[in-house]
Amino acid sequence: MAQHFDFEKPILELEQKIAELQEFSKEKDINLSPEISKLMRRLVRLRKEIYGNLEPWQKVQIARHMERPNFYDYVPLLFEDFMEFKGDRLFADDKAIVGGIAIFQGIPVTVVSHIKGRGTKENIQRNFGMPHPEGYRKALRLMDQAEKFHRPILTFIDTPGAACDLEAEERGQGEAIARCLQAMAGYSVPIICTVIGEGGSGGALALGVGNKVLLLENSFYSVIAPESCASILWKDPGKAKEAASALKFTAQDLLELGIADGIIKEPLGGAHRSVERTAEEMKKTIAEALAELRELPPDELRTMRYEKLMNYGEFAADS
């Protein structure tokens, strides 16, 4: 059953009314084309009005949509000859992070991504997209390999955050994330990070130290999930909507704040409406960014990432 949200109710009601009129017209052999066309034009306007003015919490809902495309959905549309590598060579293979090598627009690249499951069973297997330390160490292994063979690195971010259970802490979650941050800051190859859904906390930032940070139009990138923020600030996770507005974590907010370098357009209503159209926009934007970065020398790439990080949180103080 398709997932719909409360703010989409007017659209669904109008779509149902149009479908009923079309069925009635067919059954009774009555020409209702003028009435149907009028309603169709109204539907187009309504979609643009609703989806063009989404509140931050509504964007969170779209970013978490159960049918939102994940990394595996984009692979055949973005890459050729993708070969997945598994395991961190230390403990195990974490199913919440996938990665490997591929050809992007004729260029060999290393790709690493968070990944959620489809349905409850797969989500449990992938820990709902929340990696354990072995996942970040797998990512680090693949990115170190990219550095060795001078391949650009493309990361895709979609996680509520890193796993925070006892096993994760016992196996060194903080250290694993810190090593990813340290390594990505120092690589000599171009790095492009794309948020395709949720970008939650340090679990997202571990794959987010890039020369270019791109966000899909209805994604978000934040130091904390809105529910967790509401629980800490107001002791009430039910105030997640207010927290979402206060956090300024939408793609549009982050572009204005200088944290994001670009926004990738989604089909009206979200990426799940057409993975093909979303992938086409993503391919175009990433290709343009990669072409620009490949012209830069290694020292400039490193300096670019350092300056980008240092400018996060810039503010002016009254004298």
DSSP 55: -
Single pTM value for the model: 0.90
User: What is the rounded distance in angstroms from the CA atom of residue 299 to the CA atom of residue 303?
Assistant: 6
Report the pLDDT value the prediction gives residue 316, as an integer from 0 to 100.
Answer: 66
Report the pLDDT value the prediction gives residue 315, as an integer from 0 to 100.
Answer: 65
User: What is the rounded distance in angstroms from the CA atom of residue 76 to the CA atom of residue 283?
Assistant: 12
Report the pLDDT value the prediction gives residue 239, as an integer from 0 to 100.
Answer: 92
User: What is the rounded distance in angstroms from the CA atom of residue 307 to the CA atom of residue 258?
Assistant: 12
The beta strand positions in 4-152, using DSSP E, are: 80-85, 97-104, 107-114
Tokens 């130091």 — which residue?
A: 223
Report the pLDDT value the prediction gives residue 30, as an integer from 0 to 100.
Answer: 76
Report the pLDDT value the prediction gives residue 318, as an integer from 0 to 100.
Answer: 65
Query: Phi/psi of residue 4, each to 5°?
Result: -130, 155
Burial (CB count <10 Å: 0-12, 13-18, 19+), residue 18: middle
Could you tell me if 131 and 92 are in contact, meaning their C-beta atoms sit under 8 angstroms apart? no
CATH for 60-311 (3.90.226.10, 3.30.70.600, 3.30.70.360, 3.40.50.300): 3.90.226.10
Report the pLDDT value the prediction gives residue 72, as an integer from 0 to 100.
Answer: 95
Residue 300 carries which side chain, given as an amino acid letter? E
Sequential pLDDT tens for the chain (319 residues): 577 888 888 888 888 888 888 888 888 777 878 888 888 898 889 888 888 889 999 999 999 999 999 999 999 999 999 999 999 999 999 999 999 999 999 999 999 999 998 888 999 999 999 999 999 999 999 999 999 999 999 999 999 989 989 999 999 999 999 999 999 999 999 999 999 999 988 899 999 999 999 999 999 999 888 998 999 999 998 899 999 999 999 999 999 988 999 999 999 889 998 999 999 999 999 999 999 999 999 999 999 999 888 887 766 666 5
